[in-house]
A and B are shown apart, each in its own frame.
Chain A
Amino acid sequence: METTGSANVSVPCWVMFFRSRAPVLIPVRMSCLLSFKLSVFSTVLLLLCTRFVCCNNGRRVGDALDAEFSGFSVPLEHSFEVDDVAKFRVRGALVLKAGREPSVSLSQNQLSEEDRTKLKEVAAVDGLYRIRVPRVFLQADRQTERQMEGYLTAFVRACAMVESHLSDVIALHTDVSGYLIGVSIVTFPGACRGTEVEDEVDLEVFNTTLSIMAPVNAPGPETALFLERMEQELERKGKNPQEQKSFFAKYWYLILGGAIFLMATSSAQPPAGGDREQS
């Protein structure tokens, strides 16, 4: 962040006097408070080349009954390594239920003794705790069509995981047609304060809040309601006779007062001006 034209070294004020400077306001600046420490990036050099992929979802109506409505399960994997090279292992199983309102549940194992110590070690070096889920297509009818190539990954700092005693919030995001597009994990509380977790028991069981989210429908312009309100207003005006009075009825006293005032002023003045005009 730069303030324009300011010197880098503190300037004695008697020098300042000679220099014309832009007015510097010093409000409590939000941006000052934002620390750059945590995140920095710039805009993309986007290479927006459009390549249409020949799409063939292969959904057929006849196969609809094939789907088990009890849901299907996909593995939820996690990885935390001291050297930060991801090695994903199964953390639990996500049971996804497709349908109009998709739902999700999770059954997961406890952390083993070995994992607990490792997680604490990773937290000590400020490593990452990563999770991943395979890409799935929820609305597909057959198991083979559900699974897609690739994974969706997310991370949280391992120390946050430890300090929150494994309380995490995992959200799965789908797009309009039911493809899983992203996963996110946050812990609660999210901060790393460096507090030691003494009790090993705290790091045994995951306390996970899980949700699956589909995109919300963005609202369009609310014309119907607006028109309704306008009509009501008109009706209200129609009912109220006070507002239906004509212009003269409303302001007769002002007009009268003005007229009297005009008359008074014109009669008070001698007709000198008129004389001058004639001459």
Chain B
Amino acid sequence: MACCSFSVSSKAIKVNIYQSLVGQVDPKETPMRQQYVGKVRFAHFDMHVQSSKKVLVATEKNVFASLNTRTGEVYWRHVDKTGPEGNIDALLMHGQDAVLVVGNGRLLRSWDINIGGLNWEIVLDSGSFQSACFVGQQDSVKYVAVLKKSAVSLHYLSNGHQKWVENLPERYVIHRYQAVYSGGNGEVYTLGVVPHSHITIVAYSVEDGEIIKQISVDAPWLSNIQASCAVVGQGMLICADPATVSLYMLDLNVQSQMTQIPLQSLGLEVSPGFQPTVVSTQPNPARPPHSEFFVQLGPDHYQLLQLNNGQIVALRDFKPAMLVSFATTGEKTVAAVMAPKNKTVSYFEDTHSFLSRACSLNLFSAESGRRLLDTTLIFNMDPNGGKPEKLYVQAFLKKDDSVGYRVMVQTEDHTLTFIQQPGRVMWTREEALSDVVTMEMVDLPLTGTQAELEGEFGKKADGLLSMVLKRLSSQLILLQAWIAHLWKLFYDARKPRSQVKNDVTIENLSRDEFNLQKMMVMVTASGKLFGIDSKTGTILWRHYLDNIPSNAAFKLMVQRTTAHFPHPPQCTLLIKDKDTGLATLHVFNPIFGRKSHITPPALPQPILQSLLLPLMDQDYAKVLLLVDDQYKVSAFPSTKNVLQQLQEMASSIFFYLVDSSQGRLSGYRLRTDLSTEMIWEVIIPTEVQRIVSVKGKRPNEHVHSQGRVMGDRSVLYKYLNPNLLAVVTESTDLHQERSFVGILLIDGVTGRIIHEAVQRKARGPVHLVHSENWVVYEYWSTKSRRNEFSVLELYEGMELYNSTVFSSLDRPHPPQVLQQSYIFPSSISTLEATLTEKGITSRHLLVGLPSGAILSLPKMFLDPRRPEIVSEQSREENLIPYSPEMPIRTEWFINYNQTVSRVRGIYTAPSGLESTCLVVAYGLDIYQTRVYPSKQFDVLKDDYDYMLISSVLFALFFATMISKRLAEVKLLNRAWR
């Protein structure tokens, strides 16, 4: 078995020779990283400089960032804690300062928007956050008012110090203060409501926080101020009431009754069942808001109104209008209105029509409601995108004092599109990619000529002559392509190298020599799918699936790869509602993103389990089995051929189900009539521990070597059970002395518990990788308060039970299990193992660290056979002596300085080169690179000396020739003698 140890090197040599024949690959590639910010919650344009190129965004991913409005790139970005702790509640902008309220009113921060530096940060008093606003006096903004549930506080804008804090007068338990407002007259108003009873308004003096006045007005129809009211003009509160279809007006300065103005009296009508809303604008916090405001009367109906001497005047009606927004530049305030361009087709009726997908934007003077000339902007909606959701307008004064503008449109699929007049899209940002849920890498298709050649064999033979003709024609095409290629080479050679740029488009996509460039199919939480070129990061296609439930679970499967020309590759996405269990299938072509014409089966029953079989139908699509809650199995595709194959194979198709709420793992076998029968059951009592994860092996994993050569030249065979499941449990008792993490290795076919171990005084979250004959997991040790890695390896022993076939049903001997643990000096975010084409290359673990680094940790360090005492034999085996601490060496970071924020998952895929594994890390950012766990043993070095090698070869050749000749002469001479 000594050959085992040499096999790697001999393969390496073979590959080397092959490479030298083919030529060189580009061994150095630039890793691709893209930074995202997440779905935008607040956005403000930097207005304090006329020529500013910044837009500040605060997102639902707790990111505060500045984007370049020319290119869409991130100037700077601050990533806060995840979860409610880092939640951005409010973003206020004034001049160079951006004030943020973070973590449900926990922190108040001020940032300098030019450089992204923190001006100051203060901790606010506890209490849930309600509202915040700037407070100005005499045309200058000096303070920030923060309204909490029970107190209002005023802070200096310059340093954040608290000027005063006042408790809110509370007469009723259900009293809720919801809004704070200041009109620049030295008073701060807090608006509270007792739902369905009355409004309370408390005015504080800016100087000392003294209550100036307190008003209470009956408003039995009102429940939420922020949703239905706005302050307009000189302190006039305007609320909309859907029940009586009227507006209510209240002057904050004088205590009075609310005046009711029926909308009908203004000639307005509200769409049935629609809650009208009031939109006002206050461009300068030191001055009162403008007296013009919008009232939304229906989903696509807006009305511009004006408050004129206490009277409401209707200025202009906008219908259909999808979105409206005010914008101010200098002294001019305009209203931007987005309307569907083709007015005959209603926007909401026909979302799939391409005709209705164009929108036009226009500017209207806010004072008069007149349309401004030459302000039309066309926005062509992406047919594969979502509907527009928000509109951010950047208005500016042109040289001739007229108003110009650019808009940033946010659509349902979290995309930001920045458009300039008359409709030029300057950039788009696909913020859905900040939340990638799952992904796959698909091989690119062959080039047209290659495909043509393949197609020749794909078709059925129809006669000798036609076959010959076909062959000749394809050879001609090849020749033509080759000449074209040569011509291109010649043409490009004259150009300087920097100009030769090949832009990747969907048309010229083709597989490269070593299959290093692939299509990354990414599924995001918003339901948008992307096809991204792995080399450049260019988004080649996108497809937005609407009607995705918010709590959907996704599973992406490649049913047919690109290898089966002329059949197009096919991916299937299983979308499952986590609550109801109901699922839908989306079948698409992963290269072009188009929805397949194959209609997936309707799934009326909740789906428990899905499995992709290696069985193929006559069109080379792998069969997907779906198990519903009646334990009935349906196949997709379900052609006759497939059903027949399934019937033949039924007795050898097993699957398992996990019900973590009951701690039940059960195994099923398929019957010929596609029903199932339960064949084993393991129940882990939920009183003691709960199942947190179950992981099998990756189906496309190859293991090159069946055993390990020991120091004494004997072989230790690996236990390579492809059906093995690693089940991780965590104890329900979380006390640090009694908590534990359980690891069960179960055979998925027979339900046999192969190994059962508990890691005492340990706690999750557990990260686990299961591959070949090993399982690596990471946990938190509560006793020592550190992260620890543990590795389990399974061996059959010195003899193999059955070396040709592995069958779970016929392995009576339990494997030997070796285990060792190590201290890891950092917590980790995610764990994955490298994967190569044939499994010859040694394995590395890819560890995503919270710091944003990705560590490539050699599996060699996680080897339970690492000896405590070094012996001759262990040295022979190249085992590293045991040391309890796992080092983190900086040269192991594969992303160097390219930090990847909040890594959530790492995806690995093999490439055509055995030495190379493609890695994609995703989280807030997306990072793609290649790793070479055993160095590039199958690629020639850059500085490979071809001249030297060939000259030596030639020299040797001639030397042999000459010496041969000389030897002959000598022999002849001797014979003569």
Residues of A whose CB lies within 8 Å of any CB of B are 1-9, 11, 15, 18-23, 25, 27, 29-31, 33-53, 55, 57, 84, 86, 126, 128, 130, 135, 148, 150-157, 160, 169, 171, 173, 175-177, 179, 181-182, 184, 186-192, 213-223, 225-226, 229
A30 touches B446 (CB 8 A): no
- For residue B250, CB closer than 8 A to chain A, the reply is no
Q: Are A48 and B687 within 8 A (Cβ)? A: no
Known contacts being A50-B660, A177-B688, is A29 close to B609, with CB within 8 Å? Answer: no
Most A CB atoms within 10 A — which of B11, B482, B610, B809? B809
A186 and B812 form a contact (CB under 8 A): yes
Would B614 and A5 count as touching, CB distance under 8 A? no
B657 interfacial by beta-carbon distance below 8 Å: yes
B665: nearest chain-A partner, CB-CB = A182
Q: Which of B412-458 contact A (CB under 8 A)?
A: 443, 446, 450, 453-454, 457-458
Interface contact B443-A5, CB-CB below 8 Å:
yes
Report the minimal beta-carbon distance from A146 to chain B, rounded to whole angstroms.
13
A53 to B687, CA, bound (A): 6
Additional A-B contacts beyond A34-B722, A221-B823 (9; CB < 8 A): A1-B700, A3-B563, A4-B837, A5-B511, A25-B840, A29-B839, A33-B804, A33-B805, A222-B868
Which B-chain residue is minimally distant from A6 (CB atoms)?
B563
Across chains A and B, which 6 residue pairs bring their CB atoms closest together, nearest first? A22-B912, A42-B611, A55-B687, A184-B752, A182-B682, A221-B884
Interface size on B, residues (CB 8 A): 133
Does B607 count as interface, using CB distance less than 8 angstroms?
Answer: yes
Q: At the interface with chain A, which of B133-141, B336-344, B753-761? A: B753-761
Q: Which residues of B contact A20 (CB under 8 A)?
A: 22, 513
A189 to B810 CA separation, bound complex (whole angstroms):
8
Query: How close is B9's CB to chain A, nearest CB, in angstroms?
Result: 13
Q: How far is it, in angstroms, between the C-alpha of A175 and the C-alpha of B693 when the chains are bound?
A: 17
Q: How far is the CA of A50 from the CA of B882 in the complex (A)?
A: 38
A226 touches B868 (CB 8 A): yes
Q: How far is the CA of A38 from the CA of B561 in the complex (A)?
A: 24
Interface centre among A46, A49, A186 (most CB of B within 10 A): A46
Q: For residue B670, which residue of chain A has the nearest CB?
A: A40
Contact with A along B1-26 (1 / 0, CB 8 A): 00000010001001100110010000
CB <8 Å contact, B702 and A30: yes
Q: A152-B681, A213-B756, A225-B868 are in contact. Are A42 and B693 (CB under 8 A)?
A: no
Neighbour of B750 across the interface among A155, A188, A220, CB < 8 A: A155
Could you tell me the distance in whole angstroms from the C-beta of A93 to the nearest C-beta in chain B?
21
Give the residues in chain A near B553, CB-CB below 8 Å. Answer: 45, 47
- Of the candidate stretches B196-204, B495-503, B672-680, the one touching chain A is B672-680
B749 proximal to A (CB < 8 A): yes
Q: Are A46 and B443 in contact (CB under 8 A)?
A: no
| Chain A residues positioned under 8 Å from B740 (CB to CB) | 176
Task: Establish whether residues B806 and A35, one from each chain, have CB atoms under 8 Å apart when the complex forms.
Answer: yes
Measured between beta carbons, the chain B residues less than 8 angstroms from A42 are 610-612, 655, 696, 699
Q: A25, B838: Cβ atoms under 8 Å?
A: yes
A47 and B679 in contact (CB under 8 A), knowing A30-B720, A40-B611, A40-B653? no
Residues of B within 8 A of A47 (CB): 553, 578, 581, 659-660
Tell me the smallest distance from the CB of A217 to a CB of chain B, in Å. Answer: 6
CB contacts (< 8 Å) of B705 on chain A: these are 30
How many angstroms between the C-alpha atoms of A171 and B561 in the bound complex?
Answer: 43
Of all chain A residues, the one with the shortest Cβ separation from B760 is A217
The one of A3, A160, A173 in contact with B810, judged by C-beta atoms closer than 8 angstroms, is A160
Q: How far is the CB of B959 from chain A (nearest CB, A)?
A: 32
Q: How far is the CB of B562 from chain A (nearest CB, A)?
A: 8
Q: B447-489: which have CB < 8 Å to A?
A: 450, 453-454, 457-458, 478, 482
A189 and B660 form a contact (CB under 8 A)? no
Contact between A4 and B683 (Cβ–Cβ < 8 Å)?
A: no
Contact with A along B680-706 (1 / 0, CB 8 A): 111111111111111110011111111
Asked if B682 and A36 sit within 8 Å, CB to CB, the answer is no
Task: Enumerate B794-819 residues with CB–CB distance to A below 8 Å.
Answer: 802-812, 819
For the complex, what is the distance from the CA of A250 to the CA of B454, rounded to whole Å? 70
**Contact, CB under 8 Å: A46 / B693:** yes
B312 within 8 A of A: no
Other-chain residue from A30, A44, A179, A221 in contact with B685 (beta carbon distance below 8 A): A179
Cβ of B361 within 8 Å of any chain A Cβ, yes or no, is no
Binary contact track B810-850/A, C-beta < 8 Å → 1, others 0: 11100000011111000000000000011110000000000
7 contacts between A and B (CB under 8 A): A8-B458, A8-B564, A33-B805, A34-B722, A37-B649, A182-B751, A213-B756
Residue numbers in A under 8 Å from B722 (CB-CB): 31, 34, 39
In Å, the complex CA distance between A181 and B744 comes to: 11
Once bound together, how far apart are the Cα atoms of A178 and B443, in whole Å?
Answer: 50
Task: Report chain B residues within 8 Å CB of A49.
Answer: 578, 660-661
B752 touching A45 by the CB < 8 A rule? no
Contact of A29 among B607, B653, B704, B756 (CB under 8 A): B704
A190 proximity list for chain B (CB < 8 A)? 809-812
A35 to B840, CA, bound (A): 21
Q: Is A221 within 8 A of B807, CB to CB?
A: no
Closest-by-CB residue of A relative to B911 is: A22
Q: Does A175 contact B457, Cβ atoms closer than 8 Å? A: no
Residues of chain B within 8 A of A38, CB atoms compared: 652, 749, 805-809
Q: Is B286 an interface residue (CB 8 A)?
A: no
Asked whether A41 lies within 8 Å of B614 as measured between CB atoms, the reply is no
Contact yes or no, B685 A175, CB < 8 A: yes
Q: Please determine whether B812 and A219 come into contact, CB atoms closer than 8 angstroms.
A: no
Give the residue of B611, B691, B840 whose beta carbon is less than 8 angstroms from that of A41: B611
A137 to chain B, nearest CB (A): 8
Q: Nearest chain-A residue to B514 (Cβ)?
A: A22
Q: Does chain A have a CB within 8 A of B515?
A: yes
Q: Within 8 Å of chain A (Cβ to Cβ): is B167? A: no
Contact of A181 with B685 in the complex, beta carbons under 8 Å: yes
Distance in angstroms from B19 CB to nearest chain A CB is: 7
B839 contact set on A, CB distance < 8 A:
29-30
CA distance A179 to B651 in the complex (A): 32
Q: Chain B residues with Cβ under 8 A from A222's Cβ? A: 821, 868, 882, 884
> Chain A residues with Cβ under 8 A from B608's Cβ?
45
B792 to chain A, nearest CB (A): 8
B808 to chain A, nearest CB (A): 5
Q: Are A23 and B657 in contact (CB under 8 A)?
A: no
Inter-chain contacts of A184 with B (CB < 8 A)? 750-753
